[in-house]
Amino acid sequence: MSKSLADFAVKHAIKKGATYAEARYEKSSGSGLVFKNGVPQISGFDEEEGIGARLVYHGAMQFVSTDVMDKKSVARVVEMGVKMAKACAHLMKDPVELAAEEAIEDRYVVKEKKSISSFDVKDKFELMRDVESELSDLGLKIPARYFSLSDAALEKYFVNSTGTKVDARLPMVGFTYMITVQNGSKTMQKHQEFARTSGYEALSEWNLLEKAAGTARNLDLVMKNGVRLPKGELDLVCGPEVVGIAVHESVGHPQEADRILGREAAQAGESFLGPDSIGVRIGSDAVTVMDDPTIPHSAGFYLYDDEGVRARPKYLINGGAVTEFLQNKESAWQMNTMSNGSSRAMDYSTEPIIRMSNTFIPPGEMSEEELLSGVKKGVYVKSFMEWNIDDKRFNQRYVSAEAYLVENGEVTKPVKRVTLETTTPEFWGAVDAVANNLEYFAGTCGKGEPMQGVPVSMGGPSIRLRSIRLGD
């Protein structure tokens, strides 16, 4: 019945005069649990389903959604969409056109080794208690501990009026912690997200206990033994977490074609790049950046996007030059190219827009040790807490959580508060080497209006930047 409602939405839109229609049926069954300072706060489960549909009517694009699962409601919102499209007609500049894509019929399922349904409430409480115990056993002062665990089994069905039908089943588990470590009168904090498109076998990948405890121990050491950064230009080694955020913010976002075309101007912003920036150099020869939704079990995994387009790996930067923007069908038409399957919606009630998936620097040849050995005097920034970037994605700032001096190729003392405030070309232009220790970090990327948070991952191996100015 539910999938047939999506079919009905498409047929009804076409019947009402739409030249194109697509619909998504999504059903999500999930649960969550929150702990604060060792106390279980609340747990729960939800089952949500709904229909989201887009239609093009006389050149106007409309998105409609409902969670009332009957034909009458679906017909009603589709007709409201048509009515609004008619109203919008006189304020349209160019009719919306979508790049043509092949019709696809397919189904894909991500299998769970340790299924979400088999990991019951008791297991979840036990996991939270284990993380809590691991931290308390450190003997450090950790006055605030916030943990959140969530899972969901998502069923998706996409259908459009040009013959595409895609069914998918995607399990997803996620964990977030935020810890405050105190040493004397000083405190440091760290927020960390974990997400995986899989069952609870994710836990063995994440090493939550080890990671949380390691972070707490290292923050304590930074407070206790951290030295101030020497003045002047230094070589900088960014660890995979820092590479991940830099790749996401200053390569992935500015290469979203909808930003480049101005569609997100009032919300997520625009881009320092223009439609004609393909081939423009923004980094050194050593810099290659990819976005790849097809990485199995990744946080941003999918095989077909929310416009029914087959996903594929994309080189955003190759050898320092811009090679390909992230495109959906609408931006692709405007830029005279094809969609590369980058259209995602947070859920059935939100319109699909251009998003990243898993954005990263592919591994290089040398080990992290070899990379570090080439640094006489520098700093290794392992993780960050504060960051931001301007809405053209040009001026960015990352402030370290964990950082260490590098002296004659060796990581030595912890360093307090390393601030990197730089421009996109300055940062990527200074990269001279890329290691092979690729790691991904999960995040929730926000964009759109209403705000849509979608799971992504970001990462890379450690990279080395020569002669960087650091500090506020």
Footprint of other proteins on 326-355 (CB under 8 A)? 349, 351
| Per-residue x/- track, 284-323, other proteins (CB under 8 A) | ----------------------------------------
Q: Residue 96, SS3?
A: coil
- 1 counts as binding other proteins under rule CB under 8 A: no
467 contacts 235 by C-beta, under 8 angstroms: yes
CA distance 235 to 431: 10
Q: Choose between 59 and 313: whose C-beta lies nearer to other proteins.
A: 59
- 125 counts as binding other proteins under rule CB under 8 A: yes
| Per-residue x/- track, 403-432, other proteins (CB under 8 A) | --------------x-x-xxx--x------
Closest to 342 measured CA to CA, from 392, 298, 317, 307: 307
Subset of residues 174 to 213 that bind other proteins, contact rule: CB under 8 A? 178-180, 187-189
Subset of residues 370 to 389 that bind other proteins, contact rule: CB under 8 A? 385-389
Q: Choose between 312 and 469: whose C-beta lies nearer to other proteins.
A: 469
81 contacts 53 by C-beta, under 8 angstroms: yes
- 39 counts as binding other proteins under rule CB under 8 A: yes
Closest to 356 measured CA to CA, from 246, 458, 281, 438: 458
Closest to 426 measured CA to CA, from 451, 394, 402, 400: 394
Subset of residues 79 to 98 that bind other proteins, contact rule: CB under 8 A? 80-81, 83-85, 87-88, 90-94, 96
Q: Choose between 279 and 450: whose C-beta lies nearer to other proteins.
A: 450
DSSP 228-275: PPPSSEEEEEE-HHHHHHHHIIIIIGGGBHHHHTTTTTTTT---SS-T
- 72 counts as binding other proteins under rule CB under 8 A: no
Which one of residues 103, 109, 227, 266 is an interface residue with other proteins (CB under 8 A)?
Answer: 266
Tell me the residue type at 316. Answer: L
Helix, strand counts (H, E) of the chain: 10, 24
Report, in Å, the least distance between residue 181 CB and other proteins.
10
CA distance 470 to 467: 9
Which one of residues 313, 362, 363, 471 is an interface residue with other proteins (CB under 8 A)?
Answer: 471
Which one of residues 61, 251, 332, 354 is an interface residue with other proteins (CB under 8 A)?
Answer: 61
Subset of residues 211 to 250 that bind other proteins, contact rule: CB under 8 A? 233
* DSSP 8-state code for residue 418: -
Closest to 299 measured CA to CA, from 456, 102, 92: 456
Residues written for the chain? 472
Report, in Å, the least distance between residue 142 CB and other proteins.
9
Q: Which two tokens stand for residue 86?
A: 């008619």
- 464 counts as binding other proteins under rule CB under 8 A: no
Report, in Å, the least distance between residue 33 CB and other proteins.
8
Q: Choose between 190 and 314: whose C-beta lies nearer to other proteins.
A: 190
Tell me the residue type at 10. Answer: V
- CB atoms closer than 10 angstroms to residue 120: 11
* DSSP 8-state code for residue 231: S
Report, in Å, the least distance between residue 34 CB and other proteins.
7
Which one of residues 347, 390, 407, 432 is an interface residue with other proteins (CB under 8 A)?
Answer: 390
Subset of residues 139 to 168 that bind other proteins, contact rule: CB under 8 A? 143-146
Closest to 421 measured CA to CA, from 392, 387, 445, 466: 387
Q: Choose between 41 and 204: whose C-beta lies nearer to other proteins.
A: 41
Report, in Å, the least distance between residue 324 CB and other proteins.
22
User: Which phi and psi angles does 380 have, rounded to 5°?
Assistant: -110, 115
The strand pair at 463-469 and 289-291 is best described as unpaired
Q: Choose between 113 and 469: whose C-beta lies nearer to other proteins.
A: 469
